[in-house]
Structure 1
Amino acid sequence: MMNGAPVDTHAPGHDVASSISRNGFTITTQKLPILKAGPIDEMHKKLGITPPEMIFGDNFARIEHAASGWNIDFNAFDALDRVDKTGDSMLKVSYSKEWQQNRQKQFEDIKEVVKPFDWSYSTDYKGSTAGPPFRPSEKPIPLALLKRPDPILFFDDVILYEDELADNGIAMLSCKIRVMPARLLLLTRFFMRLDDVVFRIRDTRVFVEFATGEVIREYTAREEKYEVVRKTLAGTKEDVLAIMRDPNRLAQYIPVVEQSLENAVLQ
């Protein structure tokens, strides 16, 4: 659902926030370098868990509607705050203890003991909202409108965090947004591949129709055991290893385990 942008599309730079306004909606993104030690330590203390290897704490994607006071914001801190901090959801694999010990060494100046938590950084983050709330809905995102060859006025791809899970896979949260003359689509995706264990893809899509002020939020979670996916792919003529690294191609091989639809009409 998130197409690549054409060459002449405005793509924001990596050092400042960039924005575009359409019909009362303002879309803003910011991409800055990876956080340094000081801000990472501060985030660690506030979150209560060890942050991922690569944390882009100053990055964000935001949609605002000034007239209604509504906005939705996607950022690393709030996403990580949704990670299970009790350890109840922690994946039970042989190297989890070793991973905890290795990561603790990176924060030797912090005297707290590393507490159990979901070290795969799996999050069900759907964005941080303010203003008129979303309501449960059955109206899906209108795919036909998104397939139109409308010009893309603004496109950005913002990474929020990434971790290689002690060289045993990947966990990454990123946000893509494209703005057309009459509507926009934002996709925030959590992708996790834990080798020999599990695949997870958790997508939050936010669709806005500018003329009506309607906002639709769709959340879809997919999950399957690693070996099940590997066997399925082995029966195809596809490049198995390449697909395992590409959530766009991988999604069709992983079943949906949770889905929800919500909407809000802003005035």
Structure 2
Amino acid sequence: MNHATPPNEPFSSPSDLALAAATTSHTQNRFRISTRKLPISKSAAIDALEKKLGIPVPEMIFGDNLVSITHTPSNWTLSFNTQDALDAVDKTDKHMLRVAYARDWESTREETTQNIKEVVKPYDWSYSTAYAGSVADGGAAFAPTEKQIPIELLKRRDPILFFDEVVLYESELDDNGISLYSAKLRVHEKRMLLLCRLFMRLDNVLVRLRDTRIYVDFETDEVLREYTSKEASFNHVKNALRRTGRLPDDVTVALRDPNALDPFLNVVEHRIEAVSLAGQQ
């Protein structure tokens, strides 16, 4: 008989051996690229993480998932992990979004709303993190650069030696949309690209993408990091999709696809940085 473990059953964090067993690595030249995918965190791990962060976490959180890039001669490591991604979420009400019907609801419940604000610690419940990765302590820091990620080289049909997709967290925003932080990477013989993306759609309010692209040149040991934040109102995006001639059902499908929405968003922040690891031991 198969036994299903209750989702809320407390349990200890995975051991180092379990984490190592769940980690897949690929070595290319002087770099080791690793990914780890484990099931959704359970109650004990969630409680511990919420205590560390000081805010509630999304409904679907993969607390042990990981993507990391290590320059083996110097042990320089850039990683993307769930705790750091959520720790970069605004823990004040300065950037808090409200669902479309919130204003009408609050106008009829002013006293109740005030009581709620006094009890519940405010935070950006859309989980719109600006997280762009964690450099291990002591590692060389990124610095601004004029260099660009060579898109034309990445368009070439070079063999893919390693590929993976990892989700760090996901929320349905109380059935009002989606907030998803995920990573997708592909490794070629001479280069690799990692895309870490925050996709947030709050229905009838806002659509937001925050992309971090990591490009590694295996021949020069140089790493580029490009961060781009885009957003636009939900209605602007929906109307733009309609103007493309899509049928209503196709518009609904497109609203779940960040690649389909990207062309209709406005850039609100962009920066590119680099770090050279050549000769570092």
TM-score by length of 2: 0.82
Q: Which has the higher helix share?
A: 2
Equivalent position of 1:253 in the other structure: 264
Q: Could you say what the CA RMSD is over the residues aligned between the two structures, in angstroms?
A: 1.4
Deviations 1:139-182 (A, max 9, x none): 11001110111100110000000000000000000001111111
Q: Does 1:265 align with 2:276?
A: yes
1:203/1:220 contact within 8 Å kept: yes
How far the C-alpha of 1:209 sits from its partner, in A, is 0.5
- Specify every segment of 5 or more residues in structure 2 that has no aligned partner in the other structure, as ranges: 1-20, 106-118
Equivalent position of 1:134 in the other structure: 142
**Which amino acid in the other structure matches residue 245 of structure 2?**
K
SS at match of 1:251: helix
What is the distance in 1 between the residues matched to 2:153 and 2:235?
37
- 1:67-82 aligned within 5 A: 67-82=73-88
How far the C-alpha of 1:114 sits from its partner, in A, is 3.6
- 1:176-195 aligned within 5 A: 176-195=184-203
How far the C-alpha of 1:95 sits from its partner, in A, is 4.5
- 1:85-124 aligned within 5 A: 85-93=91-99, 94-95=101-102, 114-124=120-130
Equivalent position of 2:16 in the other structure: none
- 1:125-204 aligned within 5 A: 125-130=131-136, 131-204=139-212
**Which amino acid in the other structure matches residue 251 of structure 2?**
V
SS at match of 2:212: strand
Moved over 6 A (4+): none
How far the C-alpha of 1:234 sits from its partner, in A, is 1.4
Structure with the bigger RCO (C-alpha within 8 Å, sep 6+) is: 1
**Which amino acid in the other structure matches residue 268 of structure 2?**
V
**Which amino acid in the other structure matches residue 257 of structure 1?**
V
The share of aligned pairs that are identical, in percent, is 54
What is the distance in 2 between the residues matched to 1:203 and 1:247?
11
SS at match of 2:209: strand
Aligned partner of 1:227 among 230, 235, 241: 235
Aligned residues: 238
Equivalent position of 2:56 in the other structure: 50
Equivalent position of 2:25 in the other structure: 19
- 1:206-221 aligned within 5 A: 206-221=214-229
- Specify every segment of 5 or more residues in structure 1 that has no aligned partner in the other structure, as ranges: 1-14, 99-112
What is the distance in 1 between the residues matched to 2:196 and 2:186?
12
1:203/1:221 contact within 8 Å kept: yes
Equivalent position of 1:243 in the other structure: 254
Equivalent position of 2:40 in the other structure: 34
Equivalent position of 2:18 in the other structure: none
What is the distance in 1 between the residues matched to 2:74 and 2:260?
38
Larger Rg: 2
